[in-house]
Amino acid sequence: MSSAVVSTSAAQGRPFFFDDEIEPEGSSGDSRPRLSGRAQLDQHPPENHPQSWIPSKILPSTVTPASRLEIRPAPEMVSSGIPAIDALTGGLPRGCLTEICGPSSSGRTTFLLAALAAATRRGEFCTVVDASDALDPHSVASAGVALDRLLWVRCGDNPPQRHPSTPLRACPEPAEGAGSVTEKHGNQKEGCPISRASFAREAGISSQAAFEFAPTESHKSERRLEQVLRATDLLLESGGFGLIVLDLADLPLQAARRIPLTTWFRFRRAIEHTPTILLAIEQQPIAGSCSSLLLQLGAQNSSEETMRWAQSNSSREAAVWESPAQQCRVSMKKENESRRDGTVQAKRSEGDGPALGDVTDANYDDPPSIDTPTHAHLLTELNINAELIRSRLNRKPARSVTFATKTAWAG
């Protein structure tokens, strides 16, 4: 059964009937297009047995359920940069929207950087549309991302500088670029998302006056969200990127949920049949059924366990420094200390000042004891649990994996 037959018949509104066995074309001398199944029967009912033609007798054994119709080709899967995730999901699907959600400190950015590093290693160009301007360049470099292949769009609160004293009035920008913004926001005309300046114009006041009052947190979030969506629209229209990341992780959940579902549908349609991977980092799933893959991340160590460690260690001052992940690696402490000292020595040799990264500085008031863990102690092998919530690609049941991260010394 070919997908072309199904879609054509469905598109033309004709009833169709599926046969398990299709006679190959050219096997008979008849050159007319051959109709199969019920379509054929509708046009040429059996004359000899007009009463005996009962569809119900045929349907149960021959009709394939729609859920089993594999009319969409499976998307190409590429590595996410984390072998455990690749084993869980098969990788990240091209031409699809993937949602990565989780609370703070759940490993979302770690996942993001790993995906970016993997994409740039493949020679692709990537974009991060950063709603909160939260990307740390040193972490990006430490993750192995090729910086010259990464476009960083830092959405923020500061509007571009204008010169209000000009007597010239700006003409509207040509509508070809952002014309793909089709959703309507209230009484706003199509193609122009709500902006405070346009609202001010409609209200009859100058945009300068509209910005005079202090913007609230919700207004900031709306402005950032508007910038994120417009920038994403433009980037998707531009094309050519292997990975486009929408970093909505620090956006308030209320603001993120205000993204219309039509926007996600538009994004999904824009990347369909393209090699672009659209990755959304957020606190909770907001794209609904538009996402082809949904991963829930979280720290593996539960808070109860952590609290127990904290309470048990509260009586011992030296031990309160230890994190849950460290207790099993006490033997590695000395080794890490020596490794860190080596890093500091290397930095000193770079000639960037004698005090840089100087932990054991002589004039430090309260130097930590020798048992004090380092950055690496606290954060090395921070275990992250990834749970596959939904995948429309391979219909695997919900599973989860755990992977560990390393600390990048980027200070």
Residue numbers 174-193 binding another protein by CB under 8 A: 174, 177-178
Measured CA to CA, the distance from residue 346 to residue 343 in angstroms comes to: 5
Pick the piece of the chain touching another protein (CB under 8 A) from 59-67, 204-212, 259-267, 303-311.
303-311
Pick the piece of the chain touching another protein (CB under 8 A) from 19-27, 201-209, 258-266, 400-408.
400-408
Name the token pair of 199: 């609202």
Q: What angle do CA 242, 245, 250 make, to 5 degrees?
A: 170
Nearer to another protein, 121 or 392 (CB): 121
Which class for 160: exposed (0-12), middle (13-18), buried (19 or more C-beta within 10 A)? exposed
> Which of 58, 194, 234, 393 contacts another protein by CB under 8 A?
234
Pick the piece of the chain touching another protein (CB under 8 A) from 1-9, 15-23, 51-59, 313-321.
313-321
> Which of 200, 359, 389, 393 contacts another protein by CB under 8 A?
359
Using alpha carbons, list the distances in angstroms from residue 66 to 11, 291, 314: 15, 21, 60
Using alpha carbons, list the distances in angstroms from residue 94 to 273, 274, 316, 329, 346: 8, 7, 51, 39, 41
Nearer to another protein, 19 or 237 (CB): 237
Pick the piece of the chain touching another protein (CB under 8 A) from 1-9, 54-62, 372-380, 390-398.
372-380
Residue 337's H or E segment, with its range, is: helix 333-349
In the complex, what is the shortest distance from the CB of residue 95 to another protein, in angstroms, rounded to a whole number?
Answer: 11
Query: Which residues are CB-contacts of 343 (< 8 A; sequence separation ≥ 6)?
Result: 357, 409
Site for another protein contains 382 (CB under 8 A): yes
Instruction: Tell me the site size for another protein, rule CB under 8 A.
Output: 125
In the complex, what is the shortest distance from the CB of residue 337 to another protein, in angstroms, rounded to a whole number?
Answer: 13
Name the token pair of 5: 């037959």
Task: Please give the span between the terminal C-alpha atoms of the chain, in angstroms, as a whole number.
Answer: 60
Using alpha carbons, list the distances in angstroms from residue 11 to 7, 18, 74, 263: 6, 16, 22, 25
Nearer to another protein, 75 or 373 (CB): 373
In the complex, what is the shortest distance from the CB of residue 321 to another protein, in angstroms, rounded to a whole number?
Answer: 6
> Which of 263, 292, 385, 405 contacts another protein by CB under 8 A?
405
Across-strand partners of 150? 126
Nearer to another protein, 53 or 364 (CB): 364
> Which of 307, 318, 346, 398 contacts another protein by CB under 8 A?
307
> Which of 70, 190, 202, 317 contacts another protein by CB under 8 A?
317
Q: In the window 124-183, what residues touch another protein (CB under 8 A)?
A: 124-125, 132-156, 158-163, 165-171, 173-174, 177-178
Relative orientation angle of helices 261-271 and 217-238, to the nearest 10 degrees? 20
Pick the piece of the chain touching another protein (CB under 8 A) from 66-74, 115-123, 183-191, 394-402.
115-123
Q: How far is CA 193 from the centre of its chain?
A: 22
In the complex, what is the shortest distance from the CB of residue 93 to another protein, in angstroms, rounded to a whole number?
Answer: 15
Residue type at position 177? G
H helices within 194-332, ranges in order? Answer: 196-203, 207-210, 217-238, 253-256, 261-271, 303-313
Nearer to another protein, 67 or 303 (CB): 303
Pick the piece of the chain touching another protein (CB under 8 A) from 23-31, 200-208, 254-262, 379-387.
379-387
| Nearest alpha-carbon partner for 115 in 241, 268, 271 | 241
Q: In the window 85-114, what residues touch another protein (CB under 8 A)?
A: 103-110, 112-114
Q: In the window 265-294, what residues touch another protein (CB under 8 A)?
A: 274-276
Q: In the window 32-91, what residues touch another protein (CB under 8 A)?
A: 79, 81-83
